[in-house]
Amino acid sequence: MPEKPLVIDSLTFKYKTRPELALEDVSLELKQGELLLIAGSSGCGKTTLARCINGLIPRSYRGERSGKVLLHGREVADMPIPEMAQVVGTLLQDPERQIVASNVFNEIAFGPENLGLPRGEIISRVDQALSRLKLEYLRERETFNLSGGEKQKVALAGVLTMNPSILLLDEPLASLDPASAHEALEVFRSLADEGKTVILVEHRVEDAIEAKPDRLLYMEEGRIKYLGPITDLPKEIDHTQVKLPAPWVVRRVKAQGATVKEPPKPPVQERGDPLVVFEDVSFRYDSDLPFILENVNLKIFPGDLIAVLGPNGAGKSTLVKHAIGLLKPTSGRVLVEGQDTRKLSVAQIARTLGYVFQSPTHMLYAPTVQEELEFGPKNLAYDPMLIPKFVNESLSTVNLNGFAEYPPLGLSFGQQKRTTIAAVLAMRSKILIMDEPTAGQDFANYTHFMNTMCDVSEDAQSVLSANFAATLFITHDLDLAVTYANRALLFGDRRIIADGKPQDVLKDEELLLKYRVRPTSLLRLNLSLLPQTGRFLPAESLAAYAP
């Protein structure tokens, strides 16, 4: 009888640099063809468990380990790295850290080439991976010019060409538009059905259960809290820590008999003069290339909280890079507070617009988080007496108190992302622009910083209303738009498709699906209860209205 693909027995681990246990007495077995979903809040041990499975512990991360991790009956610590790489294929959380080649074909072929496979076999594997993930159109593209979601798909294709028996996927949905995420989940399920053992580490539990995982592993403080089927909400799972289907949350809140404090009604928007104006903006990187933006017209007003939705590679990031002056229109113009961006430097625009990049590694450079957050205010010549206050408030907002002296690039991907948000918050620009602010964030953390910034549940003045005239966030998390935005903008086909109140833009399911935005259970529940509520609410608040 063949050995099981993965057996973990009494695994305990403590990092050399930390006093607490990262994993404590973890035991589980996976069968061939099983799909396991691992969930839990940041710091619960998910990533450490993944590192123990793919051999990064004990090779790259030092500490004290006891117990066993067996791959097909062999201890992972004893296996040579090249051999182990063919057994466990790992997709990293941040594709920027995984992509090494300059073009897509070479990137996907990189693994098989290092195995010394014949050229015909390499090409066959690349073509199969491209076909499976519907990426043939990217075959000859440069990796540098891909969107974050496209990079994630290419990195996954590179893992598939290695033909591992175990797939370890760390937040594979983080940068994908909803339709791409759905397609990826179908691929994961089909790979398991074909005999692969698939381990899916994911914060987006509601999305991940579409892959029909055989079991759910839920962790808290380094221990297994629940391991079993997921047909409903197990009592062991805290619904405030992970993102779950809205009906499950409503049932839990009703069963607990909790009185949910309803969010205050949003203030009436006083639009005034626009802060940013796009006038017939078209853009392409080169005269030989197709346009990415065509005749875009947009105005951003004081009080706007705009969610920008749309498919991977549609040009959403290109749109906002025009607002901050990183890109200049091929035709048309962009005005920031009445001034043409062609006549302004990026530094001048930074006083009005603060931009959080999609990938933290594009922003972070300083030796400590403290210095990272001080950089912007110092360069904007703010009063030195005020800078510590700005830094401390920003750290508190994103739940990073105590991390001021940590090196940013030594933090987890989610913590890095929150550091970049804090760095822009500390600059106190008039408009805050965030590209995928919740990527790599657990539900509890992103709810904390979005509530603090947008004030959906507290009477106190929010960070945004206190320090920013408007904010705009690009997101594939539709529930972020449902819960926090007062204006939704659907982008596709190089232009703005729809722009208005979320309850108006998001009610057209046919239009959403056309542009790869899949309605969520929270959106559907909000739309059904809208005659009673008059506005969109978080799932917990809907418990007061749901039958």
183-207 exposure pattern, b = at least 16 Cβ within 10 A, e = fewer? bbbebbbebbeeebbbbbbbbbbbb
Q: Position 119: which residue type?
A: R
The answer on pLDDT for 468 being more than 90 is no
Confidence of residue 120 (pLDDT cuts 50, 70, 90): very high
Tell me how far apart the alpha carbons of residues 430 and 432 are, in angstroms, rounded to a whole number: 7
- DSSP-derived secondary structure for 505-533: HTT-HHHHHHTT-PPPHHHHHHHHHHHHH
Cβ distance 464 to 453 under 8 Å? Answer: yes
Per the DSSP assignment, residues forming a β-bridge with 77 are none
Per-domain boundaries in the chain: 6-244
Reference 314, options 291, 297, 281; nearest CA is: 291
The whole-number pLDDT of residue 265 equals 54
The whole-number pLDDT of residue 270 equals 58
Per residue in 367-407, pLDDT (tens digit) is 999 999 999 999 989 999 999 999 999 998 888 898 999 88
Reference 50, options 158, 171, 153; nearest CA is: 171
Per residue in 198-219, pLDDT (tens digit) is 999 998 888 999 999 999 999 9
The whole-number pLDDT of residue 242 equals 85
Residue with tokens 């090494």: 100
Average the pLDDT over each of 62-76, 321-335, 434-448 and give the range with the smallest value: 434-448
Q: What is the second-level CATH architecture of the domain 6-244?
A: 3-Layer(aba) Sandwich (3.40)
The whole-number pLDDT of residue 264 equals 47
Q: Position 93: which residue type?
A: Q
Confidence of residue 466 (pLDDT cuts 50, 70, 90): low
Give the 3-state secondary structure of 357-376: CCCHHHCCCCCCHHHHHHHH
Q: Position 115: which residue type?
A: L
- In this structure, are strands 495-500 and 331-336 parallel, antiparallel, or unpaired? unpaired
Q: What is the pTM of this model?
A: 0.86
Per residue in 244-289, pLDDT (tens digit) is 899 999 998 988 876 555 554 554 555 789 999 999 999 998 888 8
Per residue in 410-464, pLDDT (tens digit) is 787 788 888 999 999 999 888 999 998 888 788 888 888 888 777 644 444 555 5
Confidence of residue 526 (pLDDT cuts 50, 70, 90): very high
Tell me how far apart the alpha carbons of residues 538 and 457 are, in angstroms, rounded to a whole number: 10
The answer on pLDDT for 310 being more than 80 is yes
Q: Tokens representing 34?
A: 């099983």
The whole-number pLDDT of residue 457 equals 44
What's the mean pLDDT in 104-117? 92
Reduced to 3 states, what is the DSSP secondary structure of residue 206? helix
Q: How far is CA 157 from its chain centroid? A: 19
